[in-house]
Chains A and B, each alone.
Chain A
């Protein structure tokens, strides 16, 4: 293979539906970067491709499922988590990843997020947080920082934004991390860990939306945003999640890292253990023993 041919070959191409390219994302958008991380994580995670399923909701990030050459499901707005729950419980051999945005997961899907974390359903949720409903033109989300401008908060947001790592951790998630689109190596590693973690894993990825959120809030372009992530991020593994909230558009410190990594029986294990204890031999074990 010549050098030229090598350059033309994309190292993650085998994980992509190349017949669907070009994708819908804007120039400078962070979603593509994270998909690149995810594809590399898929290569590294050791899970056979045919046993890996991905579910997305409706948003810019919701389009991820459509570009990955996996069993991929693009469902309704806010509901990828319950769909993923059904997939996983029906076939415990699958590794199931939900890949969606902050509006989809935390606003309309918030009830599903907290209950899946509580149940410790063995799925991985990768939530891109760009602080806005980008696909519909930039409306305010429950993650939008104080004072940030969105079309439905034209004078600036005044609601307290969600601290999602803290929320899911307090509901019982066994793996919780936050990285930014700048931290591609750490993010890739976190994705590998999360997919291999038994139980409910959650990764918040802070990601630039230059077309809408950055422009409307006069925060510069995508490069400026990544520089901001680079210069202000502080890695604090095991941080107290109550202290990792992102309340201001430009926080002094962006706390990133692996905040939670604990063990707790997942839904299927809890169900099998409990019901076999109660029902003895009459119980039909679900999944591989």
Chain B
């Protein structure tokens, strides 16, 4: 089995120091620190600054930026770059991410480690190009056809845009999956202090290349953790990969048995490794009557509401998802068992994450949705009212 090899960041890509920058620029710097040396993109508000900065920086670091003819092209061009040996990302928002979905499925099927950055805006369709939303949270999980799993992270601060996109790249390499970095317009365009550490303090994961000779190597024979070892074009393996259902050799096999083996592994490699992937932040869960569970910018807005409710004497805890998918189901279940209610504020009106909490908490505790159609963030009063109602 290929061990997960950690190394430290290549100093060429690391802008060590204290900066004042926006979330989109911080995400770009994080990607460079993580070793991303290829980006393909297409302009779209509110994400464009990520690739604008990448196109300024990459000629000085060593790598390629290409502005493709559309998002469909971007989302597959980056996969070509990955199979040639680079770490790569594409960056977009609502309509562009919708166009990319077929290639999310391709990345899942070929097990191409790569990162899709989605700076979420209001939708559907052209929606609110310049204003925030969190209504693509289910899309990033289910957006492409067929059975597969992805990983998704959601930053709340500009510093986290830097820090967690590094996690996104690392997780992509460890599990060979497309990883979504679910920002939103607020986080992307907010300017804050960002501390970029020294390169040798930044942990990056190397690709899990095989050490087997070509005659022994099978492209999709999984290691015990269900993830196969990788090779790249140009190394003499003369391997084949296909988006058709395939066997361990990477050859197409069009029958129910091969389908079962492939899709179960694609799903289980995330499900069974989920305890190593989950990442969330908690505060004052023990003894709380109400827990506010949120993510991204909404988790940050909720802080004010929590403070207001505490002033009224309500025992409020909070749980903030950093990794949204896979969902930390066992922990949410524990929390549900210990509180009266879970309040879920998010910038969508159909409870994209709330319904996941409801499914887990069904019959255990109350779940209070705090929907918002997007275009701005919640008024903290709205979340406060929900907490007070939940505490009743």
Instruction: Name A residues whose Cβ lies closer than 8 Å to a Cβ of B.
Output: 17, 19-20, 49-51, 53, 55, 58, 65-66, 69-76, 79, 82-91, 93-94, 111-112, 115, 271, 275, 279, 282-284, 286
Quote the shortest CB–CB distance from A250 to chain B (angstroms): 35
Give complex CA distance A182, B60 in Å: 50
Q: How far is the CA of A281 from the CA of B109 in the complex (A)?
A: 41
Using a CB–CB cutoff of 8 Å, the interface residues on chain B facing chain A are 12, 38, 40, 59-64, 66, 68-70, 72-74, 76-86, 88, 102-103, 106, 232-244, 251-252
The listed residue (A49, A90, A271) touching B238 by CB distance below 8 A is A49
- In the complex, besides A73-B83, A90-B38, 7 extra interface pairs with C-beta distance below 8 angstroms are A65-B242, A70-B238, A74-B243, A86-B80, A111-B69, A111-B73, A271-B64
A-chain residues with CB within 8 Å of residue B235 when the two chains form the complex? 50
A85–B77 touching, CB < 8 Å = yes
- Residues on B with C-beta less than 8 A from A279 are 59-60
CA distance A1 to B239 in the complex (A): 31
The smallest beta-carbon distance between B364 and chain A, in angstroms, is 43
Question: Are A90 and B64 CB-contacts (below 8 A) given A53-B233, A112-B69, A112-B73?
Answer: yes
Q: CB within 8 A of A94: which of B84, B238, B251?
A: B84
Q: How far is the CA of A93 from the CA of B234 in the complex (A)?
A: 8
| Nearest CB on A from B196, distance (A) | 20
Taking CB as reference atom, which chain B residue is nearest A95?
Answer: B234
Of all chain B residues, the one with the shortest Cβ separation from A87 is B80
Compute how far the CA of A94 lies from the CA of B238 in the bound complex, rounded to whole angstroms.
13
A286 touches which of B64, B81, B238 (Cβ 8 Å): B64
Q: Majority SS of interface residues in chain B? A: mixed
| Complex: A87 Cα to B234 Cα, angstroms | 10
Q: Chain A residues near B12: list those with CB within 8 A.
A: 284
Known contacts A53-B234, A275-B59; A86 and B78 CB within 8 A of each other: yes
- Cβ-neighbour of A86 out of B77, B237, B239, B242 (below 8 A): B77
Residues on A with beta carbons closer than 8 Å to the beta carbon of B238: 49-50, 69-72
With beta carbons under 8 angstroms apart, the residue of A71, A84, A90 that contacts B239 is: A71
Report how far A91 CA is from B235 CA in the complex, Å: 11
Which of B59, B84, B242, B251 is A284 in contact with, Cβ under 8 Å?
Answer: B59
User: Is B62 a contact partner of A286 (Cβ separation < 8 A)?
Assistant: yes
Nearest CB in chain A to that of B105: its residue? A76
A85–B78 CA distance with the chains assembled, in angstroms: 9
**Chain B proximity of A89: nearest CB distance (Å):** 5
Q: Are A90 and B76 in contact (CB under 8 A)?
A: no
Residues of B within 8 A of A51 (CB): 234
CB-CB under 8 A from A111, the residues of chain B are 69-70, 73
- Cα distance A79–B243 in the bound complex, in angstroms: 12
- Docked Cα-Cα span, A115 to B74, in Å, equals 12
A283's partner among B59, B66, B73, B80 (CB-CB below 8 A) is B59
Whether B243 and A75, one on each chain, are in contact in the complex, defined by CB atoms closer than 8 angstroms, is yes
Which residues in B have their C-beta under 8 angstroms from that of A282? 59-60
CB distance from B155 to the nearest CB of A (A): 26
Docked pose: A168 CA to B153 CA in angstroms: 42
Q: What would 8 A/B residue contacts be, using CB atoms closer than 8 Å?
A: A49-B238, A53-B234, A75-B106, A82-B80, A90-B82, A91-B232, A275-B59, A286-B62
Chain B nearest Cβ from A45, distance in angstroms: 16
CB contact between B240 and one of A65, A76, A283 (< 8 Å): that residue: A65
Chain B residues, CB < 8 A from A75: 76, 79, 106, 243
When A75-B76, A76-B106, A115-B69 are in contact, do A89 and B64 touch as well, CB less than 8 Å?
yes
Pairwise interchain contact A91-B106, C-beta atoms closer than 8 A: no
| Among candidates B76, B236, B240, residue contacting A79 with C-beta atoms closer than 8 Å | B76
Q: How far is the CA of A73 from the CA of B238 in the complex (A)?
A: 10
Pick the most buried of B61, B88, B242: most chain A CB atoms within 10 A of its CB.
B242
- Check if A66 sits within 8 Å of B252, measured CB to CB: yes
Q: A74-B240, A94-B234 are in contact. Are A83 and B76 (CB under 8 A)?
A: yes
Nearest CB of chain A from residue B203's CB, rounded to whole Å: 24
A50 and B70 in contact, given A66-B251, A86-B80, A91-B84 (Cβ under 8 angstroms):
no
Q: Which residue of B is nearest A285, CB measured? A: B62
| Complex CA–CA separation, A283 to B81 (angstroms) | 20
